[in-house]
Structure 1
Amino acid sequence: MELILTLGIALVIIILVMLFFTFVPVGLWITAFFSGVKVKISTLIGMRLRRVVPNRIVSPMIKATKAGLDINIDELEAHYLAGGNVNTLVDALIAAQRANIPLVFERAAAIDLAGRNVLEAVQVSVNPKVIETPQIAAVAKDGIEVVARARVTVRANIERLVGGAGEETIIARVGEGIVTTVGSSETHKMVLENPDSISKTVLGKGLDSGTAFEILSIDIADVDVGRNIGAKLQMEQAEADKKIAQAKAEERRAMAVAKEQEMIAEVQSMRAKLVEAEAQVPLALAEALKKGNLGVMDYYNMKNILADTDMRNSISKMTDDEKKQI
Structure 2
Amino acid sequence: MGLLIGLTLLGLTSAWPNLAAGAAVAQALIAQVSPLAGVGLVLLLAVSLLVAWRPTPAVQRFGAAAFALSAVLTLPPLYQAFGRSGVTVGQDVTVHGQVAGNVIALGGNVILASDARVQGEVITLFGDVRRDPQARVTGRVNALLGHAPGDATARQTAPPSGLSLATASAFRPLLGWLGGAAWSRIFVVLTGGMLLLLFVTGAAPLLARRQRHAPLRTLALGVLALALLIGPALGLALAGLLVPALLACAFALLLVATGLSVSVYDAGRAAAYRLRLPAPDVVGAVLGLIAVALSLSLPPLALIGALVGGAWGIGTLLLTRSEGQGRV
Computing the radius of gyration over CA atoms, which structure comes out larger, 1 or 2?
1
Q: Which gives a bigger RCO, structure 1 or 2 (Cα 8 Å, sep 6+)? A: 2
Shorter-chain TM-score bucket reads under 0.3
